[in-house]
Structure 1
Amino acid sequence: MKLLSYNVNGIRAALNKDFITWLRATNPDILCLQEVKANVDQFDVSQFEELGYHNYWFPAEKKGYSGVAILSKIAPNSIKCGCDNEFYDKEGRVIQVNFENFSVLSVYVPSATNIDRLGFKMDFCEYFLTYVKELKKEFPNLIINGDFNICHTPIDINDPVRNSKVSGFLPEEREWLDRFLQECNLVDSLRLFNQEPFQYSWWTYRVKTARANNKGWRIDYNFVTRSLEKKLQRAYILTQAIHSDHAPVGIEFEL
């Protein structure tokens, strides 16, 4: 099975950049999306259905903001929108689909480019850690995908010294990600297969040459529970996809 996770920075904008042709060519079994920035009445979902995808969307209440989705060629047993917290759910942060042997979450962790949002971001992170620990009791085989807006280690960011005081690479954010992986018994799938530097999934639009020069950050992840670790076959970043300031991150696994 192939699973991709992609912060599209607006599904309507991505569709205008030939997203459907790309999706047809890459042909994932499951596609997790973040930052869809639209309600389903604002674009044509039949485009995805024609490609064989069951599609589930969880937009934010605020128009043109946040929102997550999961597309799957396999019909899930059940779907859940949200993470049992009205405060976060109104921003469309988490969606989950459950299959016979595993469950998949698409997650969009708040950014904190405005320092006033750092507290909100960390509050969400702490809540989500506790939420996943409880979720594992019912769904022990989890694949958690999405934009976490955190670079985990210095190898995951361009110029770690200069960025050490920038949100996304702050000590408290990285420490939380350490605890999230440890306490939830999760694996960063890419690092099982690739220990090389310069593996980035996001490049700022503010610097026009950032992507061309690979001055990026790795903030998009496919995390899996240890129970699924041996099922993983590949993990990678599709840097040639250019519908967004992010790149899709993928895994292939066998169940």
Structure 2
Amino acid sequence: MKIVSWNVNGLKAITKKGALESVLSYDAILLQEIRSSDLPLDLLMSGYNIVSFPAKKKGYSGVMTLVKEKPKSVVKGLNQKEFDEEGRTVTVELSNFYLINAYFPRAGDGLSRLDFKIAFDKKIEEFMDELRKTKPVIICGDFNAVVERRDSSFWDENEPGLSPKEREWMAHILSKGYVDAYRFKNPNKIEYSWRSYRFKWKAMRIDYCIVSEELKDKIKDCKILNIEGSDHYPILLEIDV
């Protein structure tokens, strides 16, 4: 199965650029920061099962999952109002695993939303652990945080995504039986999935596909695709499930 995850930085914008067409062939497509409740015609005609969860606030956040296999069940959000109003997660149950599409909050300039971000981290961890009691879990999306120093082109611990608390949670989740598929397949590679439009020297690997450990040996490949159109690049997970 081939799963692609992409923070598109606006569904309407990415569609107008024609960039979305380049990923409309994979078994599952997970989009973050869609910023819209409207579905473009080409998506409606694509033949995918589509689950959209826009934010309550217009033009902000939101996630969308497109999957060829008809989901056995769908969960929108985490059953917590402050997160769900921002359209942060969509989960589909497939035959052999749960697939979570997640857009983690940004810690904010001056780390003004760090507490909100860490609260979200803990809530989604509980959610993942509960699902995993039934089936393996794959979670892909924009985590808005790095794991290691080498995952960023610059270093400032007051910068969103680089703060100790954010990195501690990333290390924590990977210590309890979840696997960063990209790093598993590319142990020595230095590559980034996001690059600042304004400051070209600012880049980080903050987009991930993380799988529960029981699926580790089924990972065939995980790579960052060189597809332009957003300030993020898509990440592709190929897994034998």
Fold shared, TM-score > 0.5 on shorter chain: yes
Q: Provide the residue aligned with 1:35 in structure 2.
A: 33
- Equivalent residues of 1:156, 1:197 under 8 A apart: no
Q: Provide the residue aligned with 1:19 in structure 2.
A: 19
- Equivalent residues of 2:98, 2:136 under 8 A apart: yes
Q: Provide the residue aligned with 2:231 in structure 1.
A: 245
Map 1:1-255 to 2 at 5 A: 1-24=1-24, 27-40=25-38, 43-44=39-40, 46-114=41-109, 115-138=111-134, 140-160=135-155, 163-183=156-176, 185-207=177-199, 209-210=200-201, 215-238=202-225, 240-255=226-241
In the alignment, the residues of structure 2 paired with residue 57 and residue 84 of structure 1 have an alpha-carbon distance, to the nearest angstrom, of 16
Amino acid at match of 2:7: N
TM-score (norm 2): 0.95
TM-score (norm 1): 0.90
Shift of 1:20: 4.0
In the alignment, the residues of structure 2 paired with residue 132 and residue 98 of structure 1 have an alpha-carbon distance, to the nearest angstrom, of 12
Q: Which runs of 4+ in 1 moved over 4 A?
A: none
- Equivalent residues of 2:78, 2:123 under 8 A apart: no
> How many residues matched?
240
In the alignment, the residues of structure 2 paired with residue 20 and residue 130 of structure 1 have an alpha-carbon distance, to the nearest angstrom, of 32
Corresponding residue SS for 2:112: helix
Unmatched 5+ stretches in structure 2: none
In the alignment, the residues of structure 1 paired with residue 100 and residue 212 of structure 2 have an alpha-carbon distance, to the nearest angstrom, of 12
In the alignment, the residues of structure 1 paired with residue 181 and residue 21 of structure 2 have an alpha-carbon distance, to the nearest angstrom, of 27
Shift of 1:197: 4.0
Percentage of pairs with the same residue: 36
Corresponding residue SS for 1:192: helix
Amino acid at match of 1:247: Y
Unmatched 5+ stretches in structure 1: none
